[in-house]
Chains A and B, each alone.
Chain A
Protein backbone atom coordinates (compact mmCIF):
# COMPACT_ATOMS: atom_id res chain seq x y z
CA UNK A 1 0.00 0.00 0.00
CA UNK A 2 1.23 3.50 -0.82
CA UNK A 3 0.76 5.38 2.45
CA UNK A 4 1.27 8.78 0.76
CA UNK A 5 -1.91 8.21 -1.28
CA UNK A 6 -4.13 8.11 1.83
CA UNK A 7 -6.57 10.85 2.69
CA UNK A 8 -6.09 12.73 5.96
CA UNK A 9 -8.98 10.99 7.70
CA UNK A 10 -7.83 7.55 6.51
CA UNK A 11 -4.25 8.18 7.62
CA UNK A 12 -5.44 9.59 10.94
CA UNK A 13 -7.66 6.55 11.67
CA UNK A 14 -4.94 4.09 10.69
CA UNK A 15 -2.30 5.89 12.78
CA UNK A 16 -4.57 5.47 15.78
CA UNK A 17 -5.04 1.77 15.02
CA UNK A 18 -1.22 1.46 14.93
CA UNK A 19 -1.32 0.12 11.38
CA UNK A 20 1.77 2.23 10.76
CA UNK A 21 3.66 5.02 12.48
CA UNK A 22 3.86 8.70 11.61
CA UNK A 23 7.53 8.07 10.84
CA UNK A 24 6.59 5.46 8.23
CA UNK A 25 3.91 7.75 6.79
CA UNK A 26 6.29 10.70 6.64
CA UNK A 27 8.99 8.52 5.09
CA UNK A 28 6.49 7.41 2.41
CA UNK A 29 5.67 11.03 1.62
CA UNK A 30 9.35 11.95 1.21
CA UNK A 31 9.91 8.87 -0.97
CA UNK A 32 7.03 9.95 -3.16
CA UNK A 33 8.51 13.46 -3.40
CA UNK A 34 11.90 12.01 -4.36
CA UNK A 35 10.23 9.92 -7.08
CA UNK A 36 7.99 12.63 -8.56
CA UNK A 37 9.07 16.16 -7.72
CA UNK A 38 11.73 16.17 -10.43
CA UNK A 39 8.74 16.24 -12.80
CA UNK A 40 6.16 18.21 -10.83
CA UNK A 41 8.34 20.84 -9.09
CA UNK A 42 5.78 21.49 -6.37
CA UNK A 43 8.20 22.28 -3.53
CA UNK A 44 10.51 25.25 -3.09
CA UNK A 45 11.93 24.03 0.22
CA UNK A 46 11.78 20.64 1.91
CA UNK A 47 12.07 20.25 5.68
CA UNK A 48 12.97 16.58 5.87
CA UNK A 49 15.03 16.52 9.07
CA UNK A 50 12.60 18.66 11.06
CA UNK A 51 9.69 16.64 9.63
CA UNK A 52 11.18 13.31 10.71
CA UNK A 53 11.72 14.74 14.21
CA UNK A 54 8.11 15.97 14.32
CA UNK A 55 6.95 12.51 13.19
CA UNK A 56 8.95 10.89 15.97
CA UNK A 57 7.35 13.17 18.54
CA UNK A 58 3.93 12.50 17.04
CA UNK A 59 4.49 8.76 17.43
CA UNK A 60 5.23 9.28 21.13
CA UNK A 61 2.09 11.39 21.58
CA UNK A 62 0.02 8.80 19.70
CA UNK A 63 1.04 6.16 22.24
CA UNK A 64 -0.21 8.29 25.12
CA UNK A 65 -3.23 10.00 23.64
CA UNK A 66 -5.60 8.10 21.35
CA UNK A 67 -8.08 11.02 21.34
CA UNK A 68 -5.51 13.56 20.15
CA UNK A 69 -6.21 16.03 17.34
CA UNK A 70 -6.83 14.41 13.94
CA UNK A 71 -3.76 16.16 12.49
CA UNK A 72 -1.37 14.41 14.89
CA UNK A 73 1.40 12.81 12.84
CA UNK A 74 -0.03 13.90 9.46
CA UNK A 75 2.39 15.29 6.83
CA UNK A 76 1.11 18.67 5.60
CA UNK A 77 2.57 20.98 2.93
CA UNK A 78 2.47 24.75 3.39
CA UNK A 79 2.45 27.39 0.67
CA UNK A 80 5.58 29.52 0.78
CA UNK A 81 3.77 32.73 1.70
CA UNK A 82 3.17 31.47 5.28
CA UNK A 83 5.87 32.44 7.74
CA UNK A 84 7.47 29.33 9.22
CA UNK A 85 9.90 29.81 12.06
CA UNK A 86 13.45 28.77 11.13
CA UNK A 87 12.24 27.45 7.74
CA UNK A 88 13.17 29.57 4.70
CA UNK A 89 10.22 31.59 3.37
CA UNK A 90 10.51 33.18 -0.08
CA UNK A 91 6.99 33.98 -1.33
CA UNK A 92 8.56 32.81 -4.62
CA UNK A 93 10.28 36.20 -4.84
CA UNK A 94 13.90 37.21 -5.07
CA UNK A 95 13.21 40.26 -2.94
CA UNK A 96 12.91 38.13 0.20
CA UNK A 97 16.23 36.46 -0.52
CA UNK A 98 16.85 33.74 2.04
CA UNK A 99 14.37 35.17 4.52
CA UNK A 100 14.28 33.15 7.74
CA UNK A 101 11.11 34.02 9.67
CA UNK A 102 11.55 34.75 13.37
CA UNK A 103 8.01 33.47 14.08
CA UNK A 104 5.25 31.18 12.79
CA UNK A 105 2.03 32.28 11.12
CA UNK A 106 -0.87 31.59 13.53
CA UNK A 107 -2.16 28.82 11.26
CA UNK A 108 1.28 27.18 11.11
CA UNK A 109 1.45 27.37 14.91
CA UNK A 110 -1.96 25.64 15.03
CA UNK A 111 -0.65 22.85 12.79
CA UNK A 112 2.37 22.43 15.05
CA UNK A 113 0.26 22.43 18.23
CA UNK A 114 -1.99 19.76 16.69
CA UNK A 115 1.11 17.65 16.05
CA UNK A 116 1.11 17.89 12.26
CA UNK A 117 4.34 17.21 10.37
CA UNK A 118 5.43 20.13 8.16
CA UNK A 119 6.78 18.59 4.95
CA UNK A 120 8.00 21.77 3.28
CA UNK A 121 7.07 24.96 1.46
CA UNK A 122 5.26 24.86 -1.86
CA UNK A 123 5.73 26.97 -4.97
CA UNK A 124 3.40 29.83 -5.92
CA UNK A 125 3.13 32.78 -8.23
CA UNK A 126 5.40 35.47 -6.77
CA UNK A 127 3.52 37.21 -3.92
CA UNK A 128 0.50 35.03 -4.82
CA UNK A 129 -0.06 37.13 -7.94
CA UNK A 130 -1.07 34.85 -10.77
CA UNK A 131 -3.28 32.01 -11.96
CA UNK A 132 -0.69 29.54 -13.23
CA UNK A 133 2.30 29.36 -10.83
CA UNK A 134 4.39 30.55 -13.81
CA UNK A 135 5.16 33.84 -12.01
CA UNK A 136 7.39 32.14 -9.45
CA UNK A 137 10.87 33.69 -9.47
CA UNK A 138 12.32 30.18 -9.21
CA UNK A 139 10.52 27.71 -11.51
CA UNK A 140 7.11 26.72 -12.87
CA UNK A 141 5.21 23.93 -11.14
CA UNK A 142 3.72 21.32 -13.51
CA UNK A 143 0.25 19.84 -13.44
CA UNK A 144 0.49 16.19 -12.29
CA UNK A 145 -2.28 15.27 -14.78
CA UNK A 146 -0.23 16.59 -17.70
CA UNK A 147 3.25 17.97 -17.19
CA UNK A 148 2.86 20.43 -20.09
CA UNK A 149 -0.09 22.13 -18.37
CA UNK A 150 -0.19 24.71 -15.60
CA UNK A 151 -1.27 23.54 -12.11
CA UNK A 152 -3.25 26.75 -11.62
CA UNK A 153 -2.31 29.49 -9.22
CA UNK A 154 -1.34 31.01 -7.15
CA UNK A 155 -1.36 27.98 -4.77
CA UNK A 156 -0.17 25.80 -7.67
CA UNK A 157 2.51 24.04 -5.63
CA UNK A 158 0.10 23.07 -2.83
CA UNK A 159 -2.53 21.80 -5.30
CA UNK A 160 0.02 19.82 -7.34
CA UNK A 161 1.57 18.35 -4.16
CA UNK A 162 -1.85 17.12 -2.98
CA UNK A 163 -2.73 15.72 -6.43
CA UNK A 164 0.64 13.95 -6.74
CA UNK A 165 0.42 12.46 -3.20
CA UNK A 166 3.49 14.44 -2.15
CA UNK A 167 1.69 15.29 1.10
CA UNK A 168 -1.53 14.23 2.80
CA UNK A 169 -3.04 17.72 2.62
CA UNK A 170 -1.85 21.31 2.23
CA UNK A 171 -2.52 24.91 3.16
CA UNK A 172 -2.87 27.71 0.64
CA UNK A 173 -4.15 31.26 0.41
CA UNK A 174 -6.87 32.68 -1.82
CA UNK A 175 -7.20 36.35 -2.76
CA UNK A 176 -9.00 35.96 -6.10
CA UNK A 177 -9.24 32.20 -6.57
CA UNK A 178 -5.74 31.11 -5.59
CA UNK A 179 -6.93 28.01 -3.70
CA UNK A 180 -10.00 27.09 -5.78
CA UNK A 181 -8.64 27.50 -9.31
CA UNK A 182 -5.51 25.36 -8.74
CA UNK A 183 -7.67 22.82 -6.88
CA UNK A 184 -9.88 22.63 -10.00
CA UNK A 185 -6.86 22.40 -12.33
CA UNK A 186 -5.29 19.58 -10.29
CA UNK A 187 -8.48 17.63 -9.47
CA UNK A 188 -8.39 18.17 -5.70
CA UNK A 189 -10.64 19.88 -3.13
CA UNK A 190 -9.86 23.48 -2.13
CA UNK A 191 -11.76 25.79 0.19
CA UNK A 192 -11.59 29.55 0.56
CA UNK A 193 -13.24 30.28 3.92
CA UNK A 194 -15.25 33.40 4.76
CA UNK A 195 -13.18 36.57 5.13
CA UNK A 196 -12.30 36.61 8.83
CA UNK A 197 -12.84 32.87 9.46
CA UNK A 198 -9.10 32.06 9.58
CA UNK A 199 -6.27 34.23 10.96
CA UNK A 200 -3.92 35.84 8.45
CA UNK A 201 -1.27 36.69 11.04
CA UNK A 202 2.07 35.70 9.56
CA UNK A 203 0.76 35.44 5.99
CA UNK A 204 2.71 37.63 3.57
CA UNK A 205 0.12 40.24 2.63
CA UNK A 206 -1.10 40.71 -0.96
CA UNK A 207 -4.56 42.33 -0.86
CA UNK A 208 -5.63 42.63 2.74
CA UNK A 209 -9.37 43.12 2.17
CA UNK A 210 -9.52 39.73 0.41
CA UNK A 211 -6.60 37.47 1.44
CA UNK A 212 -7.76 34.33 3.22
CA UNK A 213 -6.13 31.06 4.31
CA UNK A 214 -7.65 27.68 3.49
CA UNK A 215 -7.10 23.95 2.97
CA UNK A 216 -6.29 21.94 -0.18
CA UNK A 217 -7.16 18.29 0.32
CA UNK A 218 -7.96 14.95 -1.27
CA UNK A 219 -11.63 14.97 -0.28
CA UNK A 220 -14.30 17.14 1.36
CA UNK A 221 -13.98 15.49 4.77
CA UNK A 222 -10.27 16.31 4.84
CA UNK A 223 -10.97 19.94 3.95
CA UNK A 224 -13.53 20.13 6.79
CA UNK A 225 -11.07 18.57 9.26
CA UNK A 226 -8.34 21.00 8.27
CA UNK A 227 -10.59 24.05 8.41
CA UNK A 228 -11.77 23.07 11.89
CA UNK A 229 -8.11 22.89 12.94
CA UNK A 230 -7.04 26.30 11.63
CA UNK A 231 -10.19 28.46 12.01
CA UNK A 232 -11.05 30.80 14.85
CA UNK A 233 -10.40 34.19 16.35
CA UNK A 234 -6.81 35.35 16.71
CA UNK A 235 -5.99 38.39 18.86
CA UNK A 236 -3.00 38.97 16.55
CA UNK A 237 -5.31 39.45 13.52
CA UNK A 238 -7.90 42.13 14.22
CA UNK A 239 -9.84 41.14 11.08
CA UNK A 240 -10.40 37.59 12.34
CA UNK A 241 -13.99 36.94 13.42
CA UNK A 242 -14.99 36.29 17.02
CA UNK A 243 -17.66 33.72 16.10
CA UNK A 244 -17.15 30.20 17.47
CA UNK A 245 -15.96 27.54 15.00
CA UNK A 246 -18.71 24.99 14.25
CA UNK A 247 -18.07 21.25 14.16
CA UNK A 248 -17.95 20.98 10.40
CA UNK A 249 -17.89 17.17 10.32
CA UNK A 250 -21.46 17.16 11.64
CA UNK A 251 -22.58 18.66 8.33
CA UNK A 252 -21.29 15.66 6.37
CA UNK A 253 -24.53 13.68 6.58
CA UNK A 254 -25.21 13.38 2.87
CA UNK A 255 -28.60 15.03 3.25
CA UNK A 256 -29.38 17.68 0.65
CA UNK A 257 -33.14 17.13 0.58
CA UNK A 258 -34.82 20.49 0.25
CA UNK A 259 -31.49 22.33 -0.09
CA UNK A 260 -32.06 25.43 -2.21
CA UNK A 261 -29.40 25.62 -4.90
CA UNK A 262 -28.99 28.77 -6.97
CA UNK A 263 -27.46 28.62 -10.45
CA UNK A 264 -26.46 32.09 -11.70
CA UNK A 265 -27.25 32.55 -15.37
CA UNK A 266 -24.38 35.06 -15.78
CA UNK A 267 -21.86 32.27 -15.09
CA UNK A 268 -22.92 30.18 -18.07
CA UNK A 269 -21.93 32.34 -21.00
CA UNK A 270 -19.89 32.10 -24.16
CA UNK A 271 -16.16 31.73 -23.64
CA UNK A 272 -16.39 28.75 -21.33
CA UNK A 273 -15.19 25.36 -22.48
CA UNK A 274 -18.31 23.31 -23.45
CA UNK A 275 -17.07 20.28 -21.50
CA UNK A 276 -16.80 22.42 -18.35
CA UNK A 277 -20.41 23.54 -18.73
CA UNK A 278 -21.50 19.93 -19.35
CA UNK A 279 -19.71 18.62 -16.25
CA UNK A 280 -21.16 21.35 -14.03
CA UNK A 281 -24.69 20.85 -15.42
CA UNK A 282 -24.33 17.11 -14.70
CA UNK A 283 -23.28 17.90 -11.14
CA UNK A 284 -26.31 20.13 -10.67
CA UNK A 285 -28.57 17.32 -11.91
CA UNK A 286 -26.89 14.89 -9.52
CA UNK A 287 -27.77 17.11 -6.55
CA UNK A 288 -31.30 17.52 -7.88
CA UNK A 289 -31.62 13.72 -8.00
CA UNK A 290 -30.69 13.68 -4.33
CA UNK A 291 -33.48 16.07 -3.39
CA UNK A 292 -31.97 19.55 -3.84
CA UNK A 293 -34.20 22.25 -5.32
CA UNK A 294 -32.50 23.96 -8.27
CA UNK A 295 -33.36 27.53 -9.17
CA UNK A 296 -31.86 29.84 -11.77
CA UNK A 297 -30.75 33.10 -10.17
CA UNK A 298 -29.15 36.33 -11.35
CA UNK A 299 -25.99 38.04 -10.13
CA UNK A 300 -26.30 41.04 -12.44
CA UNK A 301 -22.96 42.71 -11.71
CA UNK A 302 -20.85 39.63 -12.45
CA UNK A 303 -19.36 41.08 -15.63
CA UNK A 304 -17.76 43.93 -13.65
CA UNK A 305 -15.97 41.75 -11.11
CA UNK A 306 -12.67 41.35 -12.97
CA UNK A 307 -12.33 45.12 -13.44
CA UNK A 308 -13.19 45.81 -9.78
CA UNK A 309 -10.84 43.12 -8.55
CA UNK A 310 -7.81 44.24 -10.53
CA UNK A 311 -8.27 47.81 -9.26
CA UNK A 312 -8.83 46.94 -5.59
CA UNK A 313 -6.29 44.10 -5.40
CA UNK A 314 -3.51 46.01 -7.14
CA UNK A 315 -4.18 49.14 -5.08
CA UNK A 316 -3.84 47.14 -1.86
CA UNK A 317 -0.82 45.26 -3.22
CA UNK A 318 1.02 48.46 -4.16
CA UNK A 319 0.54 49.63 -0.59
CA UNK A 320 1.43 46.30 1.06
CA UNK A 321 4.54 45.85 -1.06
CA UNK A 322 5.84 49.32 -0.23
CA UNK A 323 7.41 47.66 2.83
CA UNK A 324 10.02 45.95 0.63
CA UNK A 325 12.54 48.74 0.94
CA UNK A 326 15.60 46.59 1.69
CA UNK A 327 16.25 48.25 5.04
CA UNK A 328 15.43 45.66 7.72
CA UNK A 329 15.20 42.52 5.56
CA UNK A 330 15.23 41.43 1.96
CA UNK A 331 17.27 42.33 -1.10
CA UNK A 332 19.19 45.62 -1.06
CA UNK A 333 21.55 47.22 -3.55
CA UNK A 334 23.30 50.30 -2.14
CA UNK A 335 23.28 53.13 -4.70
CA UNK A 336 24.13 56.84 -4.83
CA UNK A 337 21.13 58.00 -2.81
CA UNK A 338 18.22 56.53 -0.90
CA UNK A 339 15.66 56.83 -3.72
CA UNK A 340 17.95 55.04 -6.11
CA UNK A 341 18.70 52.38 -3.50
CA UNK A 342 14.96 51.71 -3.24
CA UNK A 343 14.44 51.76 -7.00
CA UNK A 344 17.28 49.41 -7.89
CA UNK A 345 16.63 47.01 -4.99
CA UNK A 346 12.95 46.74 -5.94
CA UNK A 347 13.74 46.46 -9.66
CA UNK A 348 16.07 43.53 -9.03
CA UNK A 349 13.86 41.95 -6.37
CA UNK A 350 10.42 41.95 -8.01
CA UNK A 351 9.38 39.97 -11.10
CA UNK A 352 7.45 41.30 -14.09
CA UNK A 353 3.89 40.53 -12.89
CA UNK A 354 4.53 41.97 -9.42
CA UNK A 355 5.91 45.16 -10.99
CA UNK A 356 2.93 45.36 -13.32
CA UNK A 357 0.52 45.14 -10.38
CA UNK A 358 2.46 47.63 -8.26
CA UNK A 359 2.38 50.05 -11.22
CA UNK A 360 -1.34 49.54 -11.80
CA UNK A 361 -2.14 49.86 -8.10
CA UNK A 362 -0.01 52.97 -7.70
CA UNK A 363 -1.69 54.51 -10.74
CA UNK A 364 -5.28 53.90 -9.55
CA UNK A 365 -4.45 55.37 -6.13
CA UNK A 366 -2.52 58.37 -7.45
CA UNK A 367 -3.75 61.97 -7.34
CA UNK A 368 -6.31 62.62 -10.06
CA UNK A 369 -7.20 58.93 -10.62
CA UNK A 370 -8.29 57.80 -7.14
CA UNK A 371 -11.95 58.76 -7.60
CA UNK A 372 -12.18 57.50 -11.17
CA UNK A 373 -10.71 54.07 -10.46
CA UNK A 374 -10.32 53.10 -6.81
CA UNK A 375 -13.43 54.77 -5.39
CA UNK A 376 -15.50 53.77 -8.41
CA UNK A 377 -14.38 50.16 -7.98
CA UNK A 378 -15.28 50.16 -4.27
CA UNK A 379 -18.78 51.44 -5.14
CA UNK A 380 -19.28 48.68 -7.71
CA UNK A 381 -17.93 46.21 -5.14
CA UNK A 382 -20.86 47.18 -2.89
CA UNK A 383 -23.20 46.22 -5.75
CA UNK A 384 -21.46 42.87 -6.25
CA UNK A 385 -21.82 42.13 -2.55
CA UNK A 386 -25.52 43.13 -2.71
CA UNK A 387 -26.09 40.71 -5.62
CA UNK A 388 -24.99 37.86 -3.34
CA UNK A 389 -26.94 39.18 -0.32
CA UNK A 390 -30.09 39.16 -2.47
CA UNK A 391 -29.32 35.69 -3.85
CA UNK A 392 -28.82 34.19 -0.39
CA UNK A 393 -32.32 35.34 0.60
CA UNK A 394 -33.56 32.77 -1.89
CA UNK A 395 -30.99 29.98 -1.79
CA UNK A 396 -28.63 28.16 0.59
CA UNK A 397 -25.73 27.63 -1.82
CA UNK A 398 -24.78 28.78 -5.31
CA UNK A 399 -23.26 26.36 -7.84
CA UNK A 400 -20.93 27.48 -10.64
CA UNK A 401 -17.87 26.26 -12.53
CA UNK A 402 -14.62 27.10 -10.70
CA UNK A 403 -12.83 28.18 -13.89
CA UNK A 404 -14.00 28.72 -17.48
CA UNK A 405 -11.58 26.08 -18.83
CA UNK A 406 -9.52 23.17 -17.60
CA UNK A 407 -5.79 23.79 -17.02
CA UNK A 408 -4.23 25.53 -20.02
CA UNK A 409 -0.76 24.94 -21.45
CA UNK A 410 2.36 26.37 -19.84
CA UNK A 411 3.26 29.60 -21.65
CA UNK A 412 -0.17 29.97 -23.29
CA UNK A 413 -1.20 33.17 -21.49
CA UNK A 414 2.04 34.66 -20.19
CA UNK A 415 2.23 37.28 -22.97
CA UNK A 416 -1.29 38.62 -22.39
CA UNK A 417 -1.91 39.71 -18.77
CA UNK A 418 -5.57 40.57 -19.39
CA UNK A 419 -6.33 37.05 -20.73
CA UNK A 420 -4.61 35.62 -17.66
CA UNK A 421 -6.74 37.84 -15.39
CA UNK A 422 -9.91 36.59 -17.12
CA UNK A 423 -9.18 33.01 -16.01
CA UNK A 424 -10.36 34.18 -12.55
CA UNK A 425 -13.82 35.33 -13.65
CA UNK A 426 -15.73 32.75 -11.60
CA UNK A 427 -13.73 33.02 -8.40
CA UNK A 428 -12.95 36.69 -7.77
CA UNK A 429 -16.50 37.91 -7.04
CA UNK A 430 -16.49 35.62 -4.02
CA UNK A 431 -13.39 37.35 -2.59
CA UNK A 432 -14.84 40.77 -3.35
CA UNK A 433 -17.95 39.83 -1.37
CA UNK A 434 -15.97 38.08 1.42
CA UNK A 435 -17.89 34.80 0.97
CA UNK A 436 -16.73 31.20 1.45
CA UNK A 437 -16.53 28.80 -1.52
CA UNK A 438 -15.12 25.36 -2.29
CA UNK A 439 -13.91 23.75 -5.49
CA UNK A 440 -14.24 20.00 -5.90
CA UNK A 441 -13.70 17.63 -8.82
CA UNK A 442 -16.74 17.08 -11.07
CA UNK A 443 -15.30 15.42 -14.19
CA UNK A 444 -12.61 15.46 -16.85
CA UNK A 445 -12.40 16.98 -20.30
CA UNK A 446 -11.49 15.00 -23.45
CA UNK A 447 -7.79 15.72 -22.84
CA UNK A 448 -8.08 14.03 -19.45
CA UNK A 449 -7.78 17.27 -17.47
CA UNK A 450 -9.85 17.69 -14.27
CA UNK A 451 -12.84 20.06 -14.06
CA UNK A 452 -13.86 21.87 -10.87
CA UNK A 453 -17.31 22.56 -9.43
CA UNK A 454 -17.58 25.65 -7.21
CA UNK A 455 -20.04 25.70 -4.29
CA UNK A 456 -20.48 29.17 -2.80
CA UNK A 457 -22.05 29.67 0.63
CA UNK A 458 -23.32 32.58 2.70
CA UNK A 459 -20.97 34.38 5.11
CA UNK A 460 -19.71 32.02 7.85
CA UNK A 461 -21.82 29.16 6.49
CA UNK A 462 -19.01 26.79 5.51
CA UNK A 463 -21.12 23.96 7.00
CA UNK A 464 -23.69 24.15 4.21
CA UNK A 465 -20.90 24.21 1.62
CA UNK A 466 -19.40 21.06 3.16
CA UNK A 467 -22.83 19.38 3.32
CA UNK A 468 -23.45 20.06 -0.37
CA UNK A 469 -19.95 19.20 -1.57
CA UNK A 470 -19.83 16.02 0.51
CA UNK A 471 -23.23 14.82 -0.73
CA UNK A 472 -22.09 15.31 -4.33
CA UNK A 473 -18.76 13.62 -3.65
CA UNK A 474 -20.52 10.61 -2.11
CA UNK A 475 -22.55 10.20 -5.29
CA UNK A 476 -19.51 10.29 -7.61
CA UNK A 477 -16.02 8.81 -7.96
CA UNK A 478 -14.10 11.79 -9.38
CA UNK A 479 -12.15 12.50 -6.20
CA UNK A 480 -10.73 8.95 -6.20
CA UNK A 481 -9.00 9.34 -9.57
CA UNK A 482 -5.23 9.76 -9.48
CA UNK A 483 -2.88 11.18 -12.12
CA UNK A 484 -0.54 8.72 -13.85
CA UNK A 485 2.24 11.36 -13.78
CA UNK A 486 3.30 10.88 -17.38
CA UNK A 487 4.03 13.31 -20.15
CA UNK A 488 1.20 14.03 -22.57
Chain B
Protein backbone atom coordinates (compact mmCIF):
# COMPACT_ATOMS: atom_id res chain seq x y z
CA UNK B 1 0.00 0.00 0.00
CA UNK B 2 1.35 3.39 -0.98
CA UNK B 3 -1.72 5.31 -0.03
CA UNK B 4 -3.56 5.39 3.29
CA UNK B 5 -7.13 6.39 3.92
CA UNK B 6 -5.88 9.33 6.03
CA UNK B 7 -3.97 10.61 3.00
CA UNK B 8 -7.07 10.35 0.84
CA UNK B 9 -8.93 12.44 3.42
CA UNK B 10 -6.11 15.02 3.47
CA UNK B 11 -6.08 15.27 -0.34
CA UNK B 12 -9.88 15.53 -0.47
CA UNK B 13 -9.71 18.53 1.84
CA UNK B 14 -6.97 20.12 -0.29
CA UNK B 15 -9.12 19.54 -3.38
CA UNK B 16 -12.27 20.80 -1.61
CA UNK B 17 -14.18 17.60 -2.32
CA UNK B 18 -16.59 16.03 0.12
CA UNK B 19 -16.33 12.25 -0.06
CA UNK B 20 -18.60 9.62 1.43
CA UNK B 21 -17.04 6.77 3.41
CA UNK B 22 -17.69 4.45 0.47
CA UNK B 23 -16.00 6.87 -1.94
CA UNK B 24 -13.01 7.11 0.42
CA UNK B 25 -12.55 3.33 0.45
CA UNK B 26 -12.98 3.00 -3.29
CA UNK B 27 -10.60 5.89 -4.03
CA UNK B 28 -7.97 4.61 -1.60
CA UNK B 29 -7.89 1.31 -3.46
CA UNK B 30 -8.13 2.75 -6.99
CA UNK B 31 -5.58 5.53 -6.48
CA UNK B 32 -3.22 3.10 -4.77
CA UNK B 33 -3.47 0.83 -7.80
CA UNK B 34 -2.86 3.72 -10.23
CA UNK B 35 0.06 5.12 -8.20
CA UNK B 36 1.56 1.63 -8.09
CA UNK B 37 1.45 1.56 -11.88
CA UNK B 38 3.20 4.95 -11.98
CA UNK B 39 6.17 3.54 -10.08
CA UNK B 40 7.21 2.26 -13.48
CA UNK B 41 8.78 5.68 -14.03
CA UNK B 42 11.41 4.93 -11.37
CA UNK B 43 12.95 2.40 -13.78
CA UNK B 44 14.42 5.37 -15.69
CA UNK B 45 17.36 7.44 -14.49
CA UNK B 46 16.35 11.05 -15.15
CA UNK B 47 19.01 12.80 -13.06
CA UNK B 48 20.40 14.65 -16.09
CA UNK B 49 17.12 15.24 -17.91
CA UNK B 50 15.47 18.67 -17.93
CA UNK B 51 11.74 18.68 -17.10
CA UNK B 52 9.52 19.31 -20.11
CA UNK B 53 8.40 22.93 -20.45
CA UNK B 54 6.40 23.60 -23.62
CA UNK B 55 4.98 21.32 -26.30
CA UNK B 56 6.18 23.34 -29.29
CA UNK B 57 9.14 25.17 -27.76
CA UNK B 58 7.18 28.40 -27.65
CA UNK B 59 8.60 31.57 -26.18
CA UNK B 60 6.58 33.85 -24.00
CA UNK B 61 3.93 35.76 -25.94
CA UNK B 62 3.57 39.39 -24.94
CA UNK B 63 0.70 41.68 -25.79
CA UNK B 64 -0.39 45.19 -24.93
CA UNK B 65 -2.27 45.42 -21.64
CA UNK B 66 -5.33 47.02 -23.19
CA UNK B 67 -9.01 46.57 -22.52
CA UNK B 68 -10.69 45.10 -25.61
CA UNK B 69 -14.10 44.06 -24.31
CA UNK B 70 -17.13 46.21 -23.60
CA UNK B 71 -18.56 46.27 -20.08
CA UNK B 72 -21.59 44.01 -19.95
CA UNK B 73 -22.38 43.17 -16.34
CA UNK B 74 -25.71 41.56 -17.17
CA UNK B 75 -24.19 39.01 -19.54
CA UNK B 76 -21.49 38.15 -17.02
CA UNK B 77 -23.92 37.92 -14.12
CA UNK B 78 -26.46 35.87 -16.04
CA UNK B 79 -24.89 32.62 -14.79
CA UNK B 80 -24.36 33.75 -11.19
CA UNK B 81 -25.82 31.42 -8.54
CA UNK B 82 -26.70 34.54 -6.55
CA UNK B 83 -26.50 38.25 -7.35
CA UNK B 84 -27.40 41.65 -6.04
CA UNK B 85 -27.79 44.34 -8.71
CA UNK B 86 -24.47 44.30 -10.58
CA UNK B 87 -22.59 42.30 -7.92
CA UNK B 88 -21.96 38.62 -7.38
CA UNK B 89 -23.42 37.66 -4.02
CA UNK B 90 -21.14 35.20 -2.19
CA UNK B 91 -21.09 33.59 1.26
CA UNK B 92 -19.55 35.53 4.12
CA UNK B 93 -15.80 34.89 4.41
CA UNK B 94 -14.89 36.87 7.55
CA UNK B 95 -16.64 36.36 10.86
Interface residues of A (CB under 8 A from B): 97, 99-100, 102, 194-196, 209-210, 235, 238-239, 241, 301, 303-304, 306-308, 310-311, 318, 322, 325-332, 334, 337-344, 346-347, 350, 352, 355-356, 358-360, 362-363, 366, 373, 375-383, 385, 417-418, 421, 432-434, 459-460
Contacts and interface: CB of A to CB of B under 8 A. Distances in A.
Contacts of B51: 375, 378-379, 381-382
B80 A359 contact: no
- For the complex of A and B, list the 4 residue pairs with the smallest distance between their C-beta atoms, beginning with the closest: A434-B55, A378-B51, A195-B55, A329-B79
Given A376-B41, A385-B52, A359 B17 contact: yes
Interface in B37-55: 37-38, 40-42, 44, 46, 49-52, 54-55
B25 interface: no
A194 B31 contact: no
B27 A356 contact: yes
B21 interface: no
A332 B15 contact: no
Most buried by B among A339, A343, A375: A343
B85 to A, nearest CB: 15
A102 B41 contact: no
Contacts of A99: 79
A385 B54 CA distance: 11
Given A330-B81, A338-B93, A347-B19, A382 B49 contact: yes
Interface of B: 3, 7-8, 11-19, 23, 27, 30-31, 33-35, 37-38, 40-42, 44, 46, 49-52, 54-56, 58, 60-61, 63, 72, 75-76, 78-82, 88, 90-93
A409 B61 CA distance: 45
A99 to B, nearest CB: 6
11 contacts: A102-B76, A210-B55, A329-B80, A330-B79, A331-B81, A337-B91, A340-B18, A362-B15, A373-B35, A380-B49, A459-B56
A97 B60 CA distance: 35
B-side binding surface: helix, strand, loop or mixed?
A: loop
Nearest to B55: A434
A359 B15 contact: yes
A383 B14 contact: no
Contact of B46 (A209, A340, A359, A383): A383
Given A241-B56, A379-B50, A418 B33 contact: yes
Contacts of A344: 18
Nearest to A337: B91
A425 to B, nearest CB: 12
B6 to A, nearest CB: 13
A362 B11 contact: yes
Given A307-B38, A379-B49, A383-B46, A239 B11 contact: no
Given A346-B16, A356-B31, A359-B31, A338 B46 contact: no
A327 B14 contact: no
A466 to B, nearest CB: 19
A318 B17 CA distance: 11
A195 B58 CA distance: 10
